[in-house]
A = this chain, B = another copy of it.
Amino acid sequence: MNRILLESAEVGADGRVTLKDRQAAHVLQVLKSRPGDGVRIGVIDGLRGSAQVTSIEPGAVQLSCTLDTPPLPSTRTTLLLALPRPKVLHRLWAPLASLGLDRIILTGAAKVERQYFETHWLTPEAYHPLLIEGLEQSGDTRLPEVTLCRRFKPFIEDEADTCFAGATRLVCHPYAEKPLAAVLPAHGHPVVIAIGPEGGWTDYEIGLLQEHGFACASFGERTLRTDTAVQAILGAVLAR
């Protein structure tokens, strides 16, 4: 945990906060802080800052916070991801938040199994703590916006053009002629990157994405597991 994140309602008008449970335990047992020590804090979807430990009681740590720094700059990157298996989805939430995505759109596809949509890892109560864990790791405060679009075709046909207006749209496809590096726009320009399911997008899905402004790009001939593919491809996109 590189930054302790608070809900805005937890911070008093005078900047005082009482940490309990997991966060108090982190300050006491991992940071081993004492009164007077500093810790990094932030407000979810708000400012970053620092805090001083003012007092320590059993199970509770009092902080005095100074929140004066905006969130990290937006990466202007949206991930459009064919819903992976529940185990993989679970593993990906924290890394996706830590990488600083603006938006995560999970979609159905021909090769996405129907029962994947029944996982509790798609409920905000389950994934919100994992997104927070990712932000506490990265030091940022801004949560990615998460959307579930179960039906791929109507989403791409009816919403993609509005939803992705002004963004460079890319879809990773192993047989694409152009390498990913050749189609990435300059740093700061918004990007939507579509990553398919295990087994890939169908030709129909690729065609539909192309009709709606997505350019095909290759990340090489190696077939990667979804979690490796997502982190490696996002690495290439975020380093633009």
The residues of A with any CB-CB pair to B shorter than 8 Å are 2, 72, 75, 94-95, 98-100, 137-140, 179-181, 187, 219-225, 227-228, 231-236, 238-240
Contacts and interface: CB of A to CB of B under 8 A. Distances in A.
B99 A239 contact: no
A179 B239 contact: yes
Contacts of A234: 232, 235
Contacts of A95: 224-225, 227-228
A234 B231 CA distance: 9
Contacts of A187: 179, 181
A219 B180 CA distance: 18
A222 B179 contact: no
A234 B72 CA distance: 23
Given A179-B187, A181-B239, A239-B179, A99 B224 contact: yes
A137 B235 contact: no
A99 B222 contact: yes
Contacts of A238: 219-220, 232, 236
Q: Which 5 A-B pairs have the closest CB atoms?
A: A232-B235, A235-B235, A236-B239, A138-B222, A231-B231
